[in-house]
Structure 1
Amino acid sequence: MTREAMRRKAKAVPEWLNSPLWSTPPLASTPADPYGTDFSPPPAPSPKPSPSVPPPPMREQAVDSYAGRGGEIREEDGAGAALRAHLLADFKAAVRLSKKVVNMGELRRLACLGVPDGGGTDVRPLVWKLLLGYLPTERSLWPYELEKKRSQYSAYKDEFLLNPSEKLRRIEESKLSRKKELTGERNGLLPSSSENIHVIQESEILEQIDRDVKRTHPDKSFFSAKSNQESLRRILIIFSRLYPSVRYVQGLNEVLAPLFYVLKNDLDTSNSTSAEADTFFCFVELISGFKNNYCKHLDNSRVGIRSILSKLSQLLKKHDEELWRHMEVITKVYPQYYAFRWITLLLTMEFSFNVCIHIWDAMLGDPEGPPDTLLRICCAMLILVRKRLLVGDFTANIQLLQHYPQTNIDHLLHIANRLRGTMPS
């Protein structure tokens, strides 16, 4: 092998990828959990990595020291409590009342480290509203914006929450009225065939939303509460009618769930009582960055889901050509077989609910924006289990990626951070 060929090969597989830090040992066979499995507490620290591999970021110390990766709060040691208190103080300082304008650069930096929760103080609802652009950075505008948006949502409910039979009745009444005005006759007109088709389509969407809402995290009592199910249902119905280009795509309930859960659990009751309205607009802001992924007529375009999957393939090839070649050339495991769900559901089905919220902290806070950050995290998921993928065949690798194993989220986000600034155009 020539020196040039050896140089290219070395470049194709960065040395830091070969560290045992990024490999996940095979797990014992366990029944598949459709919502992911809560992570056990982190294992004992691995041997200190070589100098070529940078240490995990501060986020691992600040977050992992006080919360298990499955979101269960465990007893803190003195150092963990101090780090958590320090991070919480930083967040409070970033949004403190004395500041007229929130420094979004600082807030994003902190969010990427992990938003602290528990302990009687939860800043995540406010942080997410700011990161999603629902609240402006100028604090004096918050009361006005909240009142305006909540009033607007109330108007949306009055306008869009008609069931199809009631809408059909109103159509008939409207046509009857117009007929009487024009001809003076008593008999009305039946709706046109196109109107009938529209009513049938809306009925099918409503049925799908009802089914999906009832299936949303049945293991969590929060989502089993009738009032919360009704809130999810109303948000999804209004969204489907207000944005007909997207309408409702099966699984959007899973994307909505973390937003509603976080905002509904705001310790400020003036906000938690209006969580439905706030969640709707935050949901719209979030989906706006991914909307082309849900438009079927754009699937084969340069902005559709196939193009996004292609970008993931290019990103993997750029950073780990050996793994890319094994996946797509040798075993024919293409991104559409496993990453379609990762991307369209924003990883909500790959990890436990509480862990997903911590991943979203980083995804929403990253200055590159949620779409690019999500792709980097997806690529990092592949790199993190590269050793298992490199020895797997088509069947083994599909099974591994469709039932992603337990992992250390801080390591995952650290790898994703290493891929920053390299997104394919």
Structure 2
Amino acid sequence: MSSRGLPGFLRRSRRWNDFEDEDDDAADNDADNDNKGDEKEELDQDANQRQCQELSGSNEPSHLLNASLQFLQPSAPTGPSTGDVASSNNNSISSSSKDHPNEDHTPADDITDKQTDDQSLSTIGDYDPTAGENLSYRSMTAPPSTSVGRSSSKVGYRELQFEKLLSNNVVKLSELRKIGWNGIPCQYRGMVWKILLGYLPANASRRQQTLERKRAEYKEAIRQHYDIDDDSRTLQEQETLRQVLVDVPRTAPDVPLFRNEKIKRSLARLLYIWAMRHPASSYVQGINDLATPLFAVFLADDYEGEDVQDGSVMVVLSEERLDEVEADVYWCLTNILAGIQDHYTADQPGVQRMVMRLQELVNRIDGGLCDHINSVGIQFMQFAFKWMNCLLLREFNLQCVIRLWDTYISEENGNGFEDFHIYVCAAFLCQFSSQLQEMQFDELFQFMQAVPTEDWGETEIEMLLSQAYVLSTLFGGSDAHLTSHGRQPLGPHM
């Protein structure tokens, strides 16, 4: 594998020439290189660990740093045997996942994951020797076209994992998060989301009772807050309803499902009721977008996970069933917003905090890009505000967002929509680093208002998640990305 497949901070700590241009004399040198290679590998691993500890601001060895190093290890010049792959892959991280061990893992899965690793490594940027000591990602001029989808046997195995776990009387949430982080099969997604978002209990015997109680509570909220005369509303409540009714027709305009009048009615109703029941936050434009993945996933429950975005499902969907979906969306949206509540209070301090953290992180990992954005007079707040406010829903198609949310919802401690989202945004921005550094104000500003992701699919999203995870292992839980390490201070606007 070429050294161009890894970020600069790892490439500088390896002797990459030993991995390149070996084909001509490989046969003569194999025996001599075996022992030397073992010694060099130990030295290189030590150097890598010291380098990553320095970058992350950690003075102690970290299993997360070791895990990220193994994820970024280059492939051997020649293909390993099946046994080698199965044994070595126990210590590596899948290209689109965290290190989630599973008791039912098989050698066949290891082979599939190893192939996925080798493909994804080629997308993690090129080394720029002028980038100093900053981590350097070079732009991905076009989304990768190769597929890293699982084979049919792999998909079948994953479906069995979910089937087995969800059939238990009490679901182990930690195990559900582990397998859910890598993506959730369509037919199980609705149930998994409802459980991991805390809407449904892990105990199967209590789920039906919980559904009936929560749906009845929502129905009462409709009667109390929505099905009333306008004369009974305060001026502030009337203004909130007016804003909701303005935003609903603008929601996901490219998705036929959300042009359906019944869906518009349900969306407007649940948004208004949420605002009435959360007066400290109230309704903010952008919350309407956050309901769209929930609608799409929960409507698909009755159709074995089939795509319902074309709106055809509304022809046969009963009013009673739509009311149930509306209630489910309301409660799950409420639980998501509870974790990022200060994003939608006055002045939206949570969103501003996330934009600041994003700029500080990009300043650390790709200083050249951060300097260029500042030098042309563009503020991070001008393009990243909507990334935080709408959680990238306006940057990707709905299917990509649903895959992204599989991981966000499966993040431990429920931090996917805030902490991990920042790393996703940083990896996303750095994908286009080289292109952006060639642009001046007008072109760069227009580019950031409509980042070209129309051809992206789950393959690109999984690679983006891989890169974000590597960043989170290096900088998560520390203040390393908040330190300039000798670089120029951030612009005054932050």
TM-score (norm 2): 0.61
Q: Distance in 1 between matches of 2:432 and 2:279?
A: 39
- 1:263-282 map, 5 Å: 263-267=298-302, 274-282=324-332
Is the Cα contact below 8 Å between 2:200 and 2:207 reproduced in 1? yes
Query: Once the 2 structures are TM-superposed, how far is the Cα of residue 398 of structure 1 from its aligned partner?
Result: 2.3
Structure 2 match to 1:404: 451
Q: Distance in 1 between matches of 2:148 and 2:338?
A: 42
Is the Cα contact below 8 Å between 1:348 and 1:356 reproduced in 2? yes
Q: Distance in 2 between matches of 1:310 and 1:13?
A: 25
The Cα offsets for residues 275-311 of structure 1, whole Å up to 9 and x where unpaired, read as 1111111000011112211112453xxxx32222111
Name stretches of at least 5 consecutive residues in structure 1 with no aligned partner: 1-11, 18-48, 65-75, 169-198
- 1:214-363 map, 5 Å: 214-267=249-302, 274-297=324-347, 299=349, 304-328=350-374, 330-363=375-408
Distance verdict in 2 for CA 1:344–1:77, change over 3 Å: closer
Q: Which amino acid aligns with 1:90?
A: Q
Distance verdict in 2 for CA 1:207–1:16, change over 3 Å: farther
Q: Which amino acid aligns with 2:206?
A: L
Structure 2 match to 1:367: 412
Q: Which amino acid aligns with 1:14?
A: F
Bigger RCO of structures 1 and 2 (CA < 8 A, at least 6 apart): 1
Is the Cα contact below 8 Å between 2:423 and 2:468 reproduced in 1? yes
Say which SS state the counterpart of residue 156 (structure 2) adopts: helix
Distance verdict in 2 for CA 1:378–1:211, change over 3 Å: same
Q: Distance in 2 between matches of 1:338 and 1:359?
A: 20
Q: Distance in 2 between matches of 1:281 and 1:243?
A: 13
Distance verdict in 2 for CA 1:101–1:288, change over 3 Å: same
Distance verdict in 2 for CA 1:286–1:397, change over 3 Å: same
Q: Distance in 2 between matches of 1:104 and 1:395?
A: 48
Query: Once the 2 structures are TM-superposed, how far is the Cα of residue 58 of structure 1 from its aligned partner?
Result: 5.1
Distance verdict in 2 for CA 1:52–1:288, change over 3 Å: farther
Distance verdict in 2 for CA 1:392–1:125, change over 3 Å: same
Is the Cα contact below 8 Å between 2:257 and 2:263 reproduced in 1? yes
Q: Distance in 1 between matches of 2:212 and 2:289?
A: 27
Say which SS state the counterpart of residue 282 (structure 2) adopts: coil
Structure 2 match to 1:51: 74
The Cα offsets for residues 365-409 of structure 1, whole Å up to 9 and x where unpaired, read as 122522111111111111211221233333333222221122521
Q: Which amino acid aligns with 2:362?
A: L
Is residue 464 of structure 2 the alignment partner of residue 418 of structure 1? no
Structure 2 match to 1:176: none
Is residue 380 of structure 2 the alignment partner of residue 380 of structure 1? no
Q: Distance in 2 between matches of 1:353 and 1:260?
A: 11
Is the Cα contact below 8 Å between 1:102 and 1:137 reproduced in 2? yes
Query: Once the 2 structures are TM-superposed, how far is the Cα of residue 125 of structure 1 from its aligned partner?
Result: 0.5
The Cα offsets for residues 334-376 of structure 1, whole Å up to 9 and x where unpaired, read as 3201110011111110001111111111111122522111111
Q: Which amino acid aligns with 2:424?
A: I
Q: Which amino acid aligns with 1:413?
A: L
Q: Distance in 2 between matches of 1:154 and 1:79?
A: 42
Distance verdict in 2 for CA 1:417–1:405, change over 3 Å: same
Q: Distance in 2 between matches of 1:266 and 1:391?
A: 46
**What RMSD over aligned residues (CA atoms) do the two structures have, in Å?**
3.1
The Cα offsets for residues 2-45 of structure 1, whole Å up to 9 and x where unpaired, read as xxxxxxxxxx952469xxxxxxxxxxxxxxxxxxxxxxxxxxxx
Q: State which of 213, 231, 252 in structure 2 corresponds to 1:148.
A: 213
Is the Cα contact below 8 Å between 1:265 and 1:272 reproduced in 2? no
Is the Cα contact below 8 Å between 2:378 and 2:441 reproduced in 1? yes
Is the Cα contact below 8 Å between 1:164 and 1:203 reproduced in 2? no
Structure 2 match to 1:393: 440
Q: Distance in 1 between matches of 2:73 and 2:433?
A: 19
Distance verdict in 2 for CA 1:165–1:271, change over 3 Å: closer
Name stretches of at least 5 consecutive residues in structure 2 with no aligned partner: 1-6, 13-71, 77-91, 99-111, 117-146, 304-316, 480-494
Q: Distance in 2 between matches of 1:154 and 1:242?
A: 13
Q: Distance in 1 between matches of 2:209 and 2:9?
A: 51
Say which SS state the counterpart of residue 472 (structure 2) adopts: coil
Is the Cα contact below 8 Å between 1:264 and 1:273 reproduced in 2? no
Is the Cα contact below 8 Å between 1:161 and 1:234 reproduced in 2? yes
Q: Distance in 2 between matches of 1:391 and 1:384?
A: 14
Is the Cα contact below 8 Å between 1:13 and 1:321 reproduced in 2? no
Query: Once the 2 structures are TM-superposed, how far is the Cα of residue 414 of structure 1 from its aligned partner?
Result: 0.8
Is the Cα contact below 8 Å between 2:195 and 2:202 reproduced in 1? yes
Distance verdict in 2 for CA 1:77–1:236, change over 3 Å: closer
Q: Distance in 2 between matches of 1:89 and 1:275?
A: 26
Is the Cα contact below 8 Å between 2:96 and 2:462 reproduced in 1? no
Q: Distance in 2 between matches of 1:156 and 1:236?
A: 12
Count how many residue pairs are aligned between Structure 1 and Structure 2.
Answer: 330
Is the Cα contact below 8 Å between 1:56 and 1:411 reproduced in 2? no
Q: Distance in 2 between matches of 1:312 and 1:322?
A: 15
Q: Distance in 2 between matches of 1:239 and 1:272?
A: 18
Structure 1 match to 2:188: 123
Is residue 171 of structure 2 the alignment partner of residue 102 of structure 1? yes
Is residue 9 of structure 2 the alignment partner of residue 14 of structure 1? yes
Q: Which amino acid aligns with 1:110?
A: I
The Cα offsets for residues 41-61 of structure 1, whole Å up to 9 and x where unpaired, read as xxxxxxxx9818988615697
Say which SS state the counterpart of residue 239 (structure 1) adopts: helix
Say which SS state the counterpart of residue 219 (structure 1) adopts: coil
TM-score (norm 1): 0.70
Q: Which amino acid aligns with 2:221?
A: Y
Q: State which of 162, 169, 175 in structure 2 corresponds to 1:91.
A: 162
